[in-house]
Amino acid sequence: MITPKRPAGFNEFLPADQLAFNALIAIIRMSYEQHGFTPIETPALELASVLHAKEGGESAKQGYRFTKGDSDLALRFDLTVPLARYVAEHYHELAFPFRRYQIQDVWRAEKPQAGRYRQFCQCDIDIIGSTSVAADADVLITMSRTYKALGLSTAVLHISNRKIISGILEARKLSKHSTEIMRQMDKLDKIGVAGLRKNLAERGLKESDISLLASLAAIAGTISEVTREMEKLDVSHPKLAEGLDELAATASLLDAAGLKKHDYTFNLGMMRGFDYYTGVVFEAMLSDKPEAGAVGSGGRYDNLVGYYRSEPLAGVGASIGLSRLFSAIHGELADGPSSPSQALVVVFNEKLLPFCFSVAQKLQSAGLNVEVYPSADKAGKQLGYADKTGIPFALLCGEDEEKKKSVTIKDMQTGDQKTLKLTEAARYLKKQL
Amino acid sequence: MITPKRPAGFNEFLPADQLAFNALIAIIRMSYEQHGFTPIETPALELASVLHAKEGGESAKQGYRFTKGDSDLALRFDLTVPLARYVAEHYHELAFPFRRYQIQDVWRAEKPQAGRYRQFCQCDIDIIGSTSVAADADVLITMSRTYKALGLSTAVLHISNRKIISGILEARKLSKHSTEIMRQMDKLDKIGVAGLRKNLAERGLKESDISLLASLAAIAGTISEVTREMEKLDVSHPKLAEGLDELAATASLLDAAGLKKHDYTFNLGMMRGFDYYTGVVFEAMLSDKPEAGAVGSGGRYDNLVGYYRSEPLAGVGASIGLSRLFSAIHGELADGPSSPSQALVVVFNEKLLPFCFSVAQKLQSAGLNVEVYPSADKAGKQLGYADKTGIPFALLCGEDEEKKKSVTIKDMQTGDQKTLKLTEAARYLKKQL
């Protein structure tokens, strides 16, 4: 005997959770398509030289990489690098702006933690080949609507624009420290203003610059609040102005699309990663559950396909880490059924099986999910199965029912029974469900 | 620059094909759930010792296997071994009979051929923990209905039962040659009756046995035709009788469930693999496209979890190789759109963007898929994009329209234009689509 177990750090769901998870994916898919994003899927395996182009094809620490025959292969670790490869490979077959969504698993050989697994599901959207602020707004609108569709009414988009910090650092001649400064600012939540000041001072920044950055990090609110606060800062730079203009234009489009004040906020201390993004950046937080961290994020980049094409291709995108989100909200989901069936046909004896299958067929044809218990076990055992799997109705199909072309419908919750003509059963069940 | 390419033998779709493929998956998922199968998904990676239990954990030739840290890992090569591991691992948390479906990719390092890739999608159903012929019929009914739902009206299930050949071989004391005999019979299509006779003679079989097997291989038709033909053969054995009885019971349930004469046939020469199956076996063929080969198959097995549990667990299952099926029918699918959008909002100038997003929002809220072109490119370019991606309607949202709270709807096929109040646009579009 071999012990049946998964590799460490790999999760899988029992059926009730899988059904709940799939329901979330269906909502995300519908929402993404409602906003005109088209699906693609890429192979799990890529050439390591292509996937790890950024590191010059060197082995990535967190990657699953191996050789098979002559091929140096690796499992994708995100959906962005495969998108870049896809767009570059199929460039002449795609229509631009290219609006794609991709809902697939990715693999990272990280140390497993609660809610973090080595294989997890990402749900990405990107608009490639547009530099317009309308594309920024479009991605933000799609994300906000998607959270609402998922029932996450407390989701708030925290939005900033990398041009603001870039402009400030250029104005103050601090660009060469930009990565380190952004890293410290991004830690503001953890280290506080005093910590930020101390850390920036340790890195040799002047007091006037430190004050400016600490003030910037605290600026948050509506577009008019943020604009007003920015005017108080003693700094100006064309890039900074451009960043603020883009945020204002974005805000007007979010409002036009019906987003409410509590759906988004500007948060200029939020940096969202340290390279890659060049314009708008955002992360989504649940206002009633900040401890869950960001439940999605994204931003604008100047060039998606730098490693694969000489012509740059700008874009803007976002990602929902669905596995992590599911872990975060799982406690609040009611324990659902572990079967998609809406009714179980109970089999009293083997001779009644043809009648049982004909009953199931009639109801299935009417669009109901119906299963036939596959043998004439004791009725109690069959009802116990319906109970355990959460099937809401049992259909008792005995000899009387067969004779009268009827079916006795038992509500598993209340225990109530009702005998109906077969022709009426589907309508009745649909009304009850 | 790194050439953007996939590893050899790995396929991916352009958006139009991905949309078409996803539509097939959605149909299969719906059909499987309508018949009460519940979804599970398992990790892509399994422990090699678990996945290759059959070979004692030795490297499988066609497997993607590698070590990461201390772990000897392998990508799944089918959905049956992971199901066995899942059922054994979660045995006490599952309700039996366990009806699961699983739609996931598998990986095989085979030589790539037309329509055959190294990563491909399988759509499996199984009923675990039932020995009943009702479960056999249930799987067959689900498969037949699923093909019909996919629009494959010519799909025919070819059904046999392994107990028939087993009984015959036992009666004739040929069981020790069973694998070789079944292999030859399975090749009947290619080698013909004369070839079969010759090959069996070369393996030292007696003329009377050869005649019997050649006669068996030719028996096909309805249950009564097959039963009549079997009576003419000079052979009897309890197992053979049991196999025929099971087929008769299956036929009566398929008929009760509304399957028609052209939906299934019995074909006693069909062997479907050489070990593993112990009862009913079947394969699905397209009667107008036999060259596509089997577009699905399955059967009953005595024990799913033999490597992982001491108690056996019987089941019956089936699988659709969707990637292969898609290749086979792809030529007949009309070239569909490459966007899910039903309407494109055309942007005449940047100032109109808020109006454009508000129009999109209204229609999206009404359930339509609508995208906003993300910048004020020339109208011809925007309409060209709608044309190229197959978006059926363009929504012209100019200053006039904004003033009158209306929208001009352009049918991309006919070129017809119609200006409607915003409140009427959704209803009109829905009627046209």
Say if A257 is an interface residue toward chain B (CB within 8 Å): yes
Strand partners, A220: A267
What is the predicted pLDDT for the residue at B170? 97
pLDDT in tens, A281-298: 999 999 999 988 899 999
- Asked if the model's pLDDT at residue B154 lies above 80, the reply is yes
What is the predicted pLDDT for the residue at B274? 63
Angle at A100 between CA A290 and CA B325, to 5 degrees: 120
Looking at the complex, report in whole angstroms how far the Cα of residue A58 sits from the nearest Cα belonging to chain B. Answer: 14
**Taking a contact as any Cβ pair under 8 Å apart, which residues of chain A between 271 and 310 contact chain B?**
305, 307-310
What's the maximum distance between 2 C-alpha atoms anywhere in chain B? 93
pLDDT-derived band at A59 (thresholds 50, 70, 90) equals low
What is the predicted pLDDT for the residue at B189? 83
What is the predicted pLDDT for the residue at A376? 96
What is the predicted pLDDT for the residue at A420? 97
- Asked if the model's pLDDT at residue A103 lies above 90, the reply is yes
pLDDT-derived band at A58 (thresholds 50, 70, 90) equals low
- Range B218-235 average pLDDT: 95
> Given A5, A43, A50, which is nearest B89 (Cβ)?
A5
pLDDT in tens, B22-48: 999 999 999 999 999 999 999 999 999
Give the E-state strand segments of B176-278 in sequence order: 220-221, 264-267
What is the predicted pLDDT for the residue at B213? 95
- Asked if the model's pLDDT at residue A60 lies above 70, the reply is no
| Alpha carbons B147 and B292: distance in angstroms, whole number | 15
- ipTM computed for the complex: 0.96
The reply to whether residue A3 touches residue B308, judged by beta carbons under 8 angstroms, is: yes
pLDDT in tens, B301-321: 999 999 999 999 999 999 999
In the structure encoding, which two tokens stand for residue B298, read together? 């399955």
pLDDT in tens, B43-101: 999 999 999 888 765 556 678 999 998 899 999 999 999 999 999 999 999 999 999 99
User: What is the number of residues in chain B?
Assistant: 433
Say if A426 is an interface residue toward chain B (CB within 8 Å): no
Chain B residue with the nearest C-alpha to that of A45: B7
pLDDT in tens, A344-378: 999 999 999 999 999 999 999 999 999 999 999 99
What is the predicted pLDDT for the residue at A404? 97
Cα dist. A52→A39, A63, A65 in Å? 24, 9, 10
Least confident of A83-97, A190-204, B264-278, B378-392: B264-278
> Given A12, A67, A84, which is nearest B86 (Cβ)?
A12
The reply to whether residue A41 touches residue B69, judged by beta carbons under 8 angstroms, is: no
Task: Choose among A191, A405, A94: nearest CA to B18.
Answer: A94
pLDDT in tens, B103-113: 999 999 988 78
| Alpha carbons A208 and A216: distance in angstroms, whole number | 12
Residue with tokens 């600490």: A214
What is the predicted pLDDT for the residue at B60? 62
Q: Which residues of B touch A94 (CB under 8 A)?
A: 14-15
The reply to whether residue A360 touches residue B257, judged by beta carbons under 8 angstroms, is: yes
What is the predicted pLDDT for the residue at B188? 87
Say if B413 is an interface residue toward chain A (CB within 8 Å): no
What's the maximum distance between 2 C-alpha atoms anywhere in chain A? 93
Edge-to-edge strand list for the sheet holding A343-347: A370-372, A343-347, A393-397, A406-411, A417-421
Decide if A318 contacts A28 (C-beta within 8 A).
Answer: no
The reply to whether residue A370 touches residue B34, judged by beta carbons under 8 angstroms, is: yes
The reply to whether residue B340 touches residue A50, judged by beta carbons under 8 angstroms, is: no
The reply to whether residue A35 touches residue B369, judged by beta carbons under 8 angstroms, is: yes
Q: Which residues of A touch B19 (CB under 8 A)?
A: 38-39
What is the predicted pLDDT for the residue at B59? 56
Looking at every residue in chain A, the average pLDDT score rounds to: 94
Probe site for chain A from B30, B47, B59 (most A CB atoms < 10 A): B47
- Asked if the model's pLDDT at residue A275 lies above 80, the reply is no
- Range B268-293 average pLDDT: 90
| Alpha carbons A336 and A338: distance in angstroms, whole number | 7
What is the predicted pLDDT for the residue at A113? 80
Residue, of A404 and A52, whose pLDDT is higher:
A404
**Taking a contact as any Cβ pair under 8 Å apart, which residues of chain A between 309 and 328 contact chain B?**
309-310
Residue, of B407 and B335, whose pLDDT is higher:
B407
